[in-house]
Structure 1
């Protein structure tokens, strides 16, 4: 809840949206908005998502995680390591899972296309439009350190600046599908480098287009 309030307040300030204007858009009183943002009242999940949509963050969705009250002994001490709260609110954001070929396409307004048939949750708050990709192949499996293998999910943020050292999703000339590489700078030139040393590195040219920066990686079991 605290993170949701922080997110809403920050974006209201950045977009110069007052509580009065937000309340008008939502068809409710300014006092009602104030109660939510001061934690005097708890909004429903649907209302939290309505607020995000009205401040221009409709690509996010908040999920509610409810944990059961832990067992306690005769002295009231917990018998397990579980949280002692009956209900604990954890903000998660829902992003679409895209296809490697789709992310290489761009609409006339410059926005990246991605499918929305499947969604996955993350605690990462994206700076811009974000989406998941399912890793294909072993080009990003490293012999040591950071290693991202086949079928893992990577979360891509299209608004994060791609600087050397970042893992990026790139569209290069002659390739129908985007690729996943590490952006590296050597001798004043930039390269797209796989974490797997058996794969060759590529020279990054002005004709290449970085779609987004990978911010998280996770595996499904």
Structure 2
């Protein structure tokens, strides 16, 4: 373990990168990087994997400059997962860049943030098939939020608008062709709140 930490510190020194810049590159908070490098916190498998990938990419000063342009401070990668994965998604389970597609986000998305590609037409016109939505599981859902929900007995998670009316809970599709779902008495898990939407054309 000490060997990987020493390699990280050496790579940062050689490339003249701060801990904050390194954190932005591998998608962890500056505080987490600081705690890991100081030995206060044991790094996760994902941290080690991404750190090793970072170290291996530093073959020349030119590569370092390119890496910094590709991952400027204030950006981090977010995994684009499948709908089948959403119901049981765990950030620590995403171990390899080869396993999923990664998206770059600006701002300060949480460590548990992930993305999904919209499917179907139940949420048109606001969400159309192919749109990319960013979900933060740490945001407290309130009535009116667009949420990703896992309903007991259903294989896939779903995107709907959360409606709370008194003691009742509904999942509302925006497309009038689909019925509003009363989930007041149904076991369900709100996986996260949609915080952003992007659209790709190519």
TM (norm. structure 1) is 0.59
Q: Does 1:149 align with 2:128?
A: yes
Give the direction of change, closer, same or farther, for the CA distance of 1:112–1:151 in structure 2 (3 Å limit): farther
Q: Does 1:96 align with 2:79?
A: yes
- Between the aligned partners of 1:104 and 1:200, the Cα distance in structure 2 is 22
Map of 1:3 onto structure 2? none
> How many pairs are equivalent?
161
Q: Which runs of 5+ in 1 are unaligned?
A: 1-22, 34-40, 67-88
8 Å Cα contact 1:128-1:159 kept in structure 2? no
Residues 67-86 of structure 1 correspond to what in structure 2 (within 5 A)? none
Q: Identify the match of residue 131 of structure 1 among 99, 111, 114.
A: 114
Tell me how far 1:47 sits from its aligned partner: 6.6
Q: Identify the match of residue 148 of structure 2 among 143, 146, 169.
A: 169
Structure number with higher strand proportion: 2
Query: SS of the residue aligned with 1:101?
Result: helix
8 Å Cα contact 2:163-2:170 kept in structure 1? yes
- Between the aligned partners of 2:172 and 2:115, the Cα distance in structure 1 is 21
Report the structure number with the largest CA radius of gyration. 1
Compute the RMSD of aligned alpha carbons. 3.9
Tell me how far 1:91 sits from its aligned partner: 2.2
Q: Does 1:215 align with 2:190?
A: no
Deviations 1:35-62 (A, max 9, x none): xxxxxx863844754773525795x99x
Residues 112-127 of structure 1 correspond to what in structure 2 (within 5 A)? 116-127=99-110
Deviations 1:138-186 (A, max 9, x none): 11103xxxx1100110001111111111110000012100000010122
RCO greater where, 1 or 2, for CA within 8 Å and sep 6 or more? 2
Tell me how far 1:90 sits from its aligned partner: 5.8
8 Å Cα contact 2:74-2:108 kept in structure 1? no
8 Å Cα contact 1:154-1:217 kept in structure 2? yes
Q: Does 1:181 align with 2:164?
A: no
- Between the aligned partners of 1:121 and 1:202, the Cα distance in structure 2 is 34
- Between the aligned partners of 2:92 and 2:150, the Cα distance in structure 1 is 12
Structure number with higher helix proportion: 2
8 Å Cα contact 2:143-2:163 kept in structure 1? yes
Map of 1:196 onto structure 2? 175
Give the direction of change, closer, same or farther, for the CA distance of 1:181–1:113 in structure 2 (3 Å limit): farther
- Between the aligned partners of 2:189 and 2:133, the Cα distance in structure 1 is 18
- Between the aligned partners of 2:78 and 2:124, the Cα distance in structure 1 is 24
Tell me how far 1:204 sits from its aligned partner: 2.6
